[in-house]
């Protein structure tokens, strides 16, 4: 690989050029940069210790030059309603973007890279004709990416906040988040030092706040002056200045592929991540490191580009998920400002889910202890082991075994499998163990293996299970989830073909509208008319009466995942033109009717919850705003908590999978409606549970797969945290196992000598 062209002279492009030239001095490496060498936009750049470690290993000279320039600090200040909350131990390093570019210019020039300033690059295709590799580091508006959409498969998503990059001519002494509640709405400033006499200040707000404040009509100088006035206390009355600064809308860039022939995308050309987690320059520099390494290690260019993308894509995807969570948090900032002050600060610090309760406690134990005290933790008690009361039911901790369909019943009858399955998990320490969706009629089953409560024999079988839980796991509660499959019924067992219709023995389906779940595959349901609606409501009522007699402590109404009641709520599955279709108010009518009827017969001292799909993950379906309205309606009708799930309503959904990926919807409902919420969705660690609770994003956390992997997940979480209190008592027969068993020795002497 002899000739390399780099399009774009930002940090990523320059560092890629320097590394590729350093690895082979005989290479001809050319950088095309349309701006002058001293032109730069923005002010400070923050780099993590991880990124710096990679730079130190790959190019010690650049690392030493950067270290001479860095401003370092380890505290974050959060200023909210006149109070400053400080958290330490975070560790930041920053320098001016202009100085960073100068260091990279000097390094490239010293290595013999051909730097061409004020030189717009030829198109990538033209460069590829006589270069072995073209590195497109041409930014968020990449002309290379735009010229080949069919090759790269780009997607660009615009977001809801406006922001502007400004600077102050003094050094802040911490990374500072300042919240301003103005007559126009909530604004926030993100500030950090990048030199001994300068700080970056990013001002951000919702579009409607920006317009209400009149900032949409301000020129750059006026914008800087207005922002300085909004945050005058933080600035000590000092001004802000811009650098070709304008109000921007953040764009999240993704690409299906990062290379095309001899051309490869790096940095913002390939992917962007919101500035609130300080990731743009970091990702670009790490891309450059990985690309250079793969070019060096692989036998040819196709293998190198494939290896580069395989290495970087998972890292970038993880960063983009964290950045998306952070971005959404700031978009919804107005919904958090009324939180208790320390909870607000903790929520902000953990917004991306990368900083958690456990590592924040390591960084700053006193700050975390103050947050725990405000939450109500008893001394020595992790947040997850604090009790919660719902009506007459006190849950001893905040862990729920999520409903999981087992498909192991015969004629709706729960048997020994269900006794062992649910009993084992109740013994495992969770405060509440939920049944699978228990169907209210034979026609309301998903599969022939689903359980039911449509007859007294089933109620007696359930009584056997609830009695076991109450007797053998004292203090543990067991809840029943009632539902009707709707258009998703009469299908095979999950492991025989999920959502695939039975080959024989089918039963008729009913739904909000005559729409099959999978067109051309699934059975077409009948649209429920008035008599059918009344009959289904009575089936729920009869099942609820049996559930009360069977001894369940809590009842959950299943209005999620595309089953019958969910089918009424979603506009994608409800095409009715009567009083039960059209507006969301009308679509809520039948689910609320069922809820009211069940609540009337369910014992008053026992709580009722409702599971909803807070988004359909599909265009034109239920969205987060609708979910708030749905949750508020059920809360007003007496729901004691909302179990916030997502999706599974239409097969064409496109979920944004990732750790705790559904929790932002629970968070939003909790803070908008003020109703307790159950968070679900890839919550896998006790650290996640503690973090979600302390931040005020959930009141309970429901875990499914972790409880399949480990029925004693909650007890083991207590043991791992050194907790032995009333929130997680070990059953007496198991008490001898309440400490982790010893493992093989790891304390042997280390090697003293290496012999060649």
Residues marked active site are found at 563
3-state secondary structure of 19: helix
How far apart are the C-alpha atoms of 522 and 487, rounded to whole Å?
8
| Cα distance between residue 70 and residue 55, in whole Å | 14
**Tell me, what DSSP letter sits at residue 442?**
G
How far apart (Å, rounded) are the C-alpha atoms in residues 404 and 727?
24
- 248, 162 in Cβ contact below 8 A? yes
Please name every residue paired with 333 in a beta bridge, in sequence order, or none if there are none: none
CA distances from 36 to 108, 457, 555, 730 (A): 16, 82, 67, 69
Reference 180, options 217, 232, 221; nearest CA is 232
Burial of 114 from C-beta contacts in 10 A (0-12 / 13-18 / 19+): middle
Give the tokens for residue 561: 């995942």
Residue count (the chain): 756
Q: Chain-centre distance of CA 441, in angstroms?
A: 36
- Helix 456-472 crosses helix 530-549 at what angle (to 10 degrees)? 40
Q: Hey, what's the torsion of the CAs at 743, 747, 749, 750, to 10 degrees?
A: 90
What is the b/e burial string over 278-304, where b = at least 16 CB atoms within 10 angstroms of the residue's CB?
Answer: bbbbbbbbbbbbbbbbbbeeeeebeeb
Reduce the DSSP state of residue 519 to 3 states and report it: coil
CA angle at residue 500 from 703 to 679, to 5 degrees? 15
Are 560 and 613 in contact by the 8 Å Cβ rule? The answer is: yes
- Between the alpha carbon of residue 301 and those of residues 257, 259, 264, 522, the distances in Å are 15, 11, 10, 47
Q: Report the greatest alpha carbon distance in the chain.
A: 87
Strand-pair partners of 3: 28
Residue pair 273/312 in contact by the 8 Å Cβ criterion: no
Give the list of residues 6+ apart from residue 1 with CB closer than 8 angstroms, or none.
24, 27, 132, 133, 295, 301
Matching residue, tokens 């026992």: 606
Q: What would the two tokens of residue 571 be?
A: 């506009």
Residue 77 pairs in a beta bridge with 86, 176
* CA separation for the pair 487, 562 (Å, rounded): 8
Residue-by-residue DSSP string for 179-247: EEEETTEEEEEEEEEEETTEEEEEEEEEHHHHHHTTGGG--HHHHHHHHHHHTHHHHTT---B-SS---
Question: How far, in whole angstroms, is CA 113 from its chain's centroid?
Answer: 41
Residue 260: partners with Cβ closer than 8 Å, 6 or more residues away: 148, 151, 152
Q: Is 408 helix (H, G, I), strand (E, B) or coil?
A: coil
CA distances from 353 to 321, 388, 402, 422, 660 (A): 9, 24, 21, 31, 8
Residue 96 and residue 739: Cα distance in Å, rounded? 51
Report the distance separating Cα 97 and Cα 734, nearest Å. 59
Per DSSP (E only), the strands in 8-75 are: 28-33, 44-47, 71-73
Backbone angles phi, psi at 509, to 5 degrees: -110, 155
In which order are the strands placed within the sheet that holds 248-255? 83-87, 76-80, 175-182, 185-195, 198-206, 154-168, 248-255
């Amino acid at each position: 690989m002899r000739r390399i062209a780099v399009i774009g002279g930002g940090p990523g492009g320059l560092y890629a050029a320097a590394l590729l030239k350093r690895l082979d001095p005989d290479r001809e490496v050319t950088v095309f940069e349309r701006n002058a060498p001293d032109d730069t936009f923005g002010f400070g750049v923050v780099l993590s210790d991880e990124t710096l470690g990679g730079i130190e290993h790959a190019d010690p000279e650049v690392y030493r030059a950067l270290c001479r320039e860095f401003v370092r600090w380890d505290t974050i200040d959060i200023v909210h309603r006149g109070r400053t909350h400080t958290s330490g131990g975070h560790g930041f390093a920053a320098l001016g973007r202009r100085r960073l570019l100068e260091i990279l210019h000097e390094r490239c020039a010293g290595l013999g890279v051909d730097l061409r300033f004020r030189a717009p690059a030829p198109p990538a295709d033209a460069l590829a004709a006589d270069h072995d590799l073209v590195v497109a580091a041409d930014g968020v508006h990449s002309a290379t990416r735009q010229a080949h959409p069919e090759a790269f498969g780009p997607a660009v998503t615009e977001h809801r906040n406006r922001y502007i990059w400004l600077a102050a001519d003094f050094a802040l002494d911490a990374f500072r988040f300042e919240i301003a509640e103005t007559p126009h709405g909530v604004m926030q400033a993100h500030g950090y030092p990048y030199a001994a006499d300068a700080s970056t200040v990013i001002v951000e707000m919702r579009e409607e706040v920006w317009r209400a404040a009149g900032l949409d009509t301000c020129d750059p100088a006026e914008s800087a002056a207005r922002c300085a006035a909004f945050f005058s206390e933080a600035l000590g009355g000092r001004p802000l200045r811009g650098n070709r600064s304008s109000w921007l809308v953040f764009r999240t860039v993704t690409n299906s592929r990062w290379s095309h022939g001899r051309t490869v995308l790096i940095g913002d050309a390939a992917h962007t991540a919101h500035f609130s987690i300080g990731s743009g320059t970091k990702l670009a520099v790490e891309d450059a490191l990985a690309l250079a390494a793969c070019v060096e290690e692989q036998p040819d260019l196709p293998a190198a580009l494939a290896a580069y993308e395989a290495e970087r894509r998972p890292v970038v995807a993880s960063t983009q998920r964290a950045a998306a969570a952070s971005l959404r948090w700031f978009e919804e900032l107005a919904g958090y400002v009324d939180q208790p002050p320390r909870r607000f600060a903790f929520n902000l610090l953990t917004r991306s889910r990368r900083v958690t309760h456990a590592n924040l406690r390591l960084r700053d134990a006193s700050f975390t202890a103050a947050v725990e005290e405000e939450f109500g933790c008893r001394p020595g008690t992790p947040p997850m082991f604090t009790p919660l009361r719902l009506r007459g039911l006190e849950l001893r901790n905040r862990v729920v075994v999520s409903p999981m369909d087992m498909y192991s019943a015969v004629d709706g009858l729960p048997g020994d499998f269900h006794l062992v399955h649910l009993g084992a998990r109740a013994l495992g320490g969770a405060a509440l163990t939920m049944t699978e969706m228990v169907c209210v009629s034979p026609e309301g089953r998903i599969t022939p293996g689903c359980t039911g409560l449509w007859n007294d024999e089933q109620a007696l079988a359930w009584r056997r299970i609830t009695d076991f839980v109450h007797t053998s796991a004292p203090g543990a509660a067991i809840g029943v989830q009632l539902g009707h499959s709707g258009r998703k019924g009469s299908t095979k067992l999950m492991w025989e073909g999920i959502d695939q219709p039975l080959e024989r023995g089918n039963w008729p389906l009913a739904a909000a509208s005559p729409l099959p779940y999978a067109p051309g595959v699934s059975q077409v349901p009948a649209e429920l008319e008035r008599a059918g609606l009344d009959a289904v409501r009575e089936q729920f009522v009869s099942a609820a009466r049996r559930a009360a007699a069977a001894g369940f402590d809590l009842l959950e109404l299943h209005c999620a995942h595309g089953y019958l009641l969910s089918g009424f709520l979603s506009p994608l599955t409800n095409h009715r033109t009567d009083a039960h279709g059209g507006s969301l108010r009308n679509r809520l009518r039948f689910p609320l009717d069922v809820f009211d009827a069940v609540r009337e017969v369910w014992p008053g001292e026992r709580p009722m919850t409702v599971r909803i799909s807070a988004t359909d993950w599909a265009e034109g379906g239920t969205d987060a705003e609708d979910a708030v309205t749905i949750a508020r309606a059920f809360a007003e009708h007496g729901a004691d908590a909302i179990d916030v799930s997502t999706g599974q309503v239409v097969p064409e959904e496109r979920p944004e999978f990732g750790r705790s990926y559904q929790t932002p919807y629970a968070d939003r409902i909790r803070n908008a409606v003020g109703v307790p919420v159950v968070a679900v969705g890839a919550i896998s660690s006790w650290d996640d549970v503690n973090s979600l609770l302390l931040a005020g994003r959930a009141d309970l956390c429901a875990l499914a797969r972790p409880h399949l992997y480990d029925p004693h997940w909650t007890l083991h979480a207590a043991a791992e945290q050194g907790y032995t209190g009333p929130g997680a008592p070990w059953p007496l027969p198991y008490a001898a196992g309440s400490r982790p068993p010893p493992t093989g020795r790891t304390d042997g002497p280390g090697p003293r000598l290496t012999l060649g």
